[in-house]
Amino acid sequence: GAGVSQSPSNKVTEKGKDVELRCDPISGHTALYWYRQSLGQGLEFLIYFQGNSAPDKSGLPSDRFSAERTGGSVSTLTIQRTQQEDSAVYLCASSPQGTSGSRTGELFFGEGSRLTVL
Amino acid sequence: GNSVTQMEGPVTLSEEAFLTINCTYTATGYPSLFWYVQYPGEGLQLLLKATKADDKGSNKGFEATYRKETTSFHLEKGSVQVSDSAVYFCALNAGNNRKLIWGLGTSLAVNP
């Protein structure tokens, strides 16, 4: 399809296990974002990729969280040694613009990956 | 710092009722303001936006006016439909895309 694709849509894991969440952005979009949506917490910024620039990791909550973006396209968010507080919906978004010019702020979101840590 | 406050839900209305969802913000400078909507089972999508004071964003019968004097961007619709049932998020962009600041979301349920 033409939209942002995320997988898996649902993931149930045991505390202490590692998980990988994948995001395939819209073709041609240079900017990619990961957000976390927790019940009653709104959207929490995690990490931002723009082209070949170093990613902005300022939102990652701990060093158990990491993300890569290969070839300027697909991104993987990895959570190591999962904890129950990591349970949330992880949203990926892409945008044709980066930070250099536009303030339009239109992000195109995937449907999210719901992570449940038991 | 920058922040967004929107009214708590859930909001329950009958079809054809008037809708207002309040959103106020705190920001330095001149932010752009947005309403995003999340329909059941779908991803977030942009509903409307306004990039400067007194601008009115509109889409699908929804409107919101950027009021700098009251630091508000309230969402309104004159006659809601069942298909408008969703969660609505107010957000601001204070200068770079990665720092979209979000409200907590307001759930709207419209009954026939």
- What does the pLDDT look like over A48-58, one tens digit per residue? 998 888 899 99
Identify the closest residue of chain B to A5 by CA–CA distance: B43
pLDDT confidence band for A100 (50 / 70 / 90): very low
Identify the closest residue of chain A to B102 by CA–CA distance: A43
**3-class DSSP state for residue B86?**
strand
| pLDDT greater at residue B79 or residue B7 | B79
Reference B92, options B42, B36, B44; nearest CA is B36
Amino acid making up residue B74: H
Q: Which residues contact residue A63 at a Cβ distance below 8 angstroms, ignoring those fewer than 6 apart? A: none
| B103 contacts A105? CB cut-off 8 A | no
- Chosen for mutation from A46, A107, A111 (greatest number of chain B CBs closer than 10 Å) is A107
pLDDT confidence band for B2 (50 / 70 / 90): confident
